[in-house]
Amino acid sequence: MGQSCGRVEIAAVGTLGIASIPTTPAPSGLGTAVPGPAQGSASLVAEGWDPAVPLLVALHGWLLSGRLWDPLRRELEPVLPCWCPDLPGFGGRPRPKGLQPSLASYGRWLADELRAEVGERPVVLLGHSLGGSVALHTAPHLGSQLQGLVQVAAGGGVYQPRPFARLRQGGSAFLALRPAWLAPLPVMAAWRSPLLAETRAARGLLACSTNRGAVGQLPRLTASLGVPSLWIAGSRDGVMEPRYVRHLAGYSRLHRLELLEGAGHLPMRQMPRRLAALIETWLVEEGLLAGSGDRLGALDPAVAPGARAA
């Protein structure tokens, strides 16, 4: 999984979004892609929708927040209700007392949160990077409520001791040295979330996600999925290379793998319209969303029901 350490890109070995914190100028579409704390994006707004329409629950990556999904949410919400929460300890959401900073604990937290908010309403989970691991840990707790799973730049399942050790060291160094006092400045709006993430939550999830047991659990969780899954890799993703997305997706019996040409690690910010069309197409083809062919064609003529994006 790429062992480059030139920037904080040592995250290329895992399911984390550390490269969302560039220390060098990023290509167009990526340099301003790191969102700050959510302002209302953690509100679950499902009122007024047909209860048969699934709620899309989007989970952000390490150090980020629910605002990561804003451009994609704007594209999807005309046909699909979306909830883009801040995970506890990130964005604007405090970590509840007693919630351990582990993938398993976060998976149980999300399942409980969903039941409290929407009861048994059907749900499709959408995970990005570390959020993809949280989604896999949430899935077993949802039972028949879970209708599908979409993974964006989420893969792995192969333990590599040295690269993961470098990842933990680099992540811990960033947490220790980050200038949190800069966060209130308006000029730092695009970088605010990594500066404000709770240290214990961030460090704990980093350690949990890169230990041998957690990495080895990802293939087992993927193999146990009983719902259709869509795995999307960016052709230019240097953090989670497409081959590692393909590796983990292969454990799911009902999976589809799509390569998004030209996309890096954050396609929801870089090309939200193309990503939205790809997700809607898959939902329609799986029977999870009523046909919306006209809208899909308007979003992206290259992506229509029955057509593969890559």
Report the sign of the C-alpha dihedral through residues 230, 64, 221, 110, in that order.
negative
CA dihedral 164, 19, 125, 267 (to 10 degrees): -140
Average pLDDT over residues 27-45: 36
Name all contacts of 291-298 with Cβ < 8 Å and 24+ positions apart. 292/79, 295/78, 295/79
Q: Where are the domains of the chain?
A: 8-271
Contact 69, 60 (CB under 8 A): yes
* pLDDT range class, residue 154, cuts 50, 70, 90: very high
Confidence (pTM): 0.82
Mean pLDDT score across all residues of the chain: 82
Instruction: Cite the beta strand spans of 224-270 per DSSP E.
Output: 229-234, 255-260
Overall fold of domain 8-271: Rossmann fold (3.40.50)
Long-range contacts formed by 8-12: CB under 8 A, 24+ apart: 8/170, 8/171, 8/174, 9/238, 9/239, 10/163, 10/166, 10/167, 10/170, 11/62, 11/167, 11/170, 11/171, 11/239, 12/163, 12/238, 12/239, 12/240, 12/241
AA letter at 36: G
> What residues contact residue 146 under an 8 Å CB cut-off, 6+ apart?
122, 123, 124, 125, 139, 227
pLDDT tens digit sequence for 115-139: 998 899 999 999 999 999 999 999 9
The pLDDT, as a whole number, for residue 65 is 94
Say how far apart CA 277 and CA 282 lie, in whole Å: 9
What is the pLDDT, as a whole number, of residue 152?
Answer: 98
